[in-house]
Structure 1
Amino acid sequence: MTRVSPALAADLRRVAHLLADAARPVTLQHFRRGIAADNKGPAKGVAFDPVTIADRESEMAMRAILARERPDDAILGEEFGHQPGNSGLTWVLDPIDGTRAYIAGAPTWGVLVAVSDDQGPLFGLIDQPYIGERFAGGFGRAECVGPQGTSALQTRAARALSDAIVMTTYPEVGTPTEAAAFHTVAAQARLTRYGMDCYAYAMLAAGQIDLVIEAGLQSYDVQGPIAVIEGAGGIVTDWQGGPAWNGGRVLAAANAEVHAEALAILSQTL
């Protein structure tokens, strides 16, 4: 699929917001309530990868809406995997991106929604239910709706890496080699902050920071943020400058200039 009609774009936008609307009360029901977490980590070769009833119930609520509103579309969700479709469109769902932050009571987690075709995400949402902010991007516009009203999203203007703000979730980033590459970039930036999960991508789209650099991501971690950032004028690639919507190593940048500076370092240090 290479073209989306205005009518289809409007419907996809409508359904994406329905999904985020459904996930909000489910996630808030359990947030800061001492929720228990199961550990998926050993099965994935990591020490701790939590999942909660809120993750599962949130994704189930979104899937129920898709079954009613868009039954021919495929679904890829973190908790319940892939459901095939025949429309050429796939809904990519992360019911709680940042479950570690969620169980710790920190509001840097979010609900991620994207709708994609075979060329990547068309429209996406980053929703933070506790703060009440929703970042949306795709089909020619990007906006945030939150406590301060509705505003257009626009990434930051070009500036040197030495003046840039960089974010990532974990100081370890990924493998030792990936961590070394990240810290080479971070050492040249003005400010580096950690532990932001998907909220870092929202801040990039909102024009607050310049770079988000991560590794080891899945497609459901990044497709919603890609749509939002690209809609706001930013750039998202892998660490070699190729497409990032299947996950892996991700470099999100506010503009072409700072992207080029960071990419030159990352690509040369791996």
Structure 2
Amino acid sequence: MISPEFLRRLAMVAAREALPRFRLPGLVANKFAAGFDPVTEADRETEKALRSLIRAEFPEHGLLGEEFGAEGSGARHVWVVDPIDGTRSYISGIPLWGTLVGLLEDGNAVAGMMAQPFIGELFYATGDGSHYEGPHGQGQLSTRATEDLCEATLFTTTPTIFEPGQRTSFHQLERQVRLSRYGTDCYAYCMLAAGQIDIVVEAGLQPYDIVALIPIIEQAGGTVTGWDGGPAERGGGIVAAANAALHAKVIEILHGTARQSGSQRDR
């Protein structure tokens, strides 16, 4: 089992690189010619530092990072790193970004952390529940018992991440919940684990966007899968909910609307 102390060390290393560069003028590069996918010096230097610490502690483990790709991917244990999840928030001076580090064992997410150094919060799971450390002290996380969509709070980063058919499905879901909010990237998943919100639905995620968050959600009592109900570790469309009953209702709406849209296109 990975120790919480090692995750704290990772969080400290990430803070050392990312926090001094936050809200300072700096060069922002674009990784995506057909749109805008920003990357900064903080992204690259934070991932380098995290990789160095992981290699030193677990030289036999593999690594997958957003900025520098995969190494040792055939290993049974693979660390998955997103140095700054929410780079758009980071370059806008908004503290709704975080460092994600997760551990895969035989392809399954078994441990993970989300660290936000500006606010001073750490969310993590290593196999004995989900935990919080920050301005509110320390404690164990637990999702809400909400089962009715009409009482649920729904988050997504932005509806623009969805393809047209997916967007129709999302808006159908959105019309049935009590409250819908946009933004926050990884923070939304941690708020789900903390019992503050009930549903997160997204699309187009990479493994490094979600692997670290899966144990935090599941060990707090939540359910997280792909849109197809399969493993979330591979990324793509993601549905996270506070409990299995609510998750099933979300999946039913997303699939029902998608099937209906497909039938209409076939006519």
Q: Answer whether TM exceeds 0.5 for this pair.
A: yes
- State whether residues 146 and 152 of structure 2, in contact with CA within 8 Å, keep that contact through their aligned partners in structure 1: no
Q: Which amino acid aligns with 1:167?
A: F
Q: Which amino acid aligns with 2:129?
A: R
Q: Residue in 2 aligned with 1:4?
A: none
Does structure 1 residue 230 correspond to structure 2 residue 218? yes
Q: 1:215 aligns with which of 196, 203, 210?
A: 203
Does structure 1 residue 21 correspond to structure 2 residue 15? no
CA separation in 2, counterparts of 1:105 and 1:61?
Answer: 22
Q: Residue in 2 aligned with 1:130?
A: 118
CA separation in 2, counterparts of 1:103 and 1:209?
Answer: 26
Q: Which amino acid aligns with 1:227?
A: P
Correspondence list, 1:36-51, <5 A = 36-42=27-33, 46-51=34-39
SS at match of 1:242: coil
Correspondence list, 1:74-223, <5 A = 74-84=62-72, 87-223=75-211
Once the two structures are TM-superposed, the CA of residue 86 in structure 1 deviates from its matched residue by 6.3
Q: Residue in 1 aligned with 2:21?
A: 30
SS at match of 1:158: coil
Q: Which amino acid aligns with 1:171?
A: P
CA separation in 2, counterparts of 1:194 and 1:47?
Answer: 20
CA separation in 2, counterparts of 1:81 and 1:40?
Answer: 14
- State whether residues 238 and 250 of structure 1, in contact with CA within 8 Å, keep that contact through their aligned partners in structure 2: yes
CA separation in 1, counterparts of 2:255 and 2:90?
Answer: 33
CA separation in 2, counterparts of 1:190 and 1:15?
Answer: 39
- TM-score, normalised via structure 1 length: 0.92
CA separation in 2, counterparts of 1:67 and 1:31?
Answer: 26
- State whether residues 218 and 247 of structure 1, in contact with CA within 8 Å, keep that contact through their aligned partners in structure 2: yes
Q: Which amino acid aligns with 2:64?
A: L
CA separation in 2, counterparts of 1:174 and 1:35?
Answer: 30
CA separation in 2, counterparts of 1:112 and 1:255?
Answer: 23
Q: Which amino acid aligns with 2:30?
A: N
- State whether residues 64 and 73 of structure 2, in contact with CA within 8 Å, keep that contact through their aligned partners in structure 1: no
Once the two structures are TM-superposed, the CA of residue 87 in structure 1 deviates from its matched residue by 4.7
Once the two structures are TM-superposed, the CA of residue 269 in structure 1 deviates from its matched residue by 2.1
SS at match of 2:159: coil
CA separation in 1, counterparts of 2:74 and 2:228?
Answer: 32
CA separation in 2, counterparts of 1:29 and 1:253?
Answer: 34
CA separation in 2, counterparts of 1:240 and 1:57?
Answer: 35
CA separation in 1, counterparts of 2:148 and 2:73?
Answer: 45
CA separation in 2, counterparts of 1:229 and 1:85?
Answer: 25
Q: Which ranges in structure 2 are unaligned for 5 or more consecutive residues? A: 259-267
CA separation in 1, counterparts of 2:73 and 2:201?
Answer: 32
- CA deviations on 1:83-135 (whole Å, 9 max, x unpaired) are 11665100000000000000001111100010111241110001111100000
- TM-score, normalised via structure 2 length: 0.93
Q: Residue in 1 aligned with 2:243?
A: 255
Q: Which amino acid aligns with 2:23?
A: R
Q: What RMSD over aligned residues (CA atoms) do the two structures have, in Å?
A: 1.3
Q: Which amino acid aligns with 2:15?
A: R
Q: Residue in 2 aligned with 1:239?
A: 227
Once the two structures are TM-superposed, the CA of residue 266 in structure 1 deviates from its matched residue by 0.8
SS at match of 1:172: helix
Q: Which ranges in structure 1 are unaligned for 5 or more consecutive residues? A: 1-8
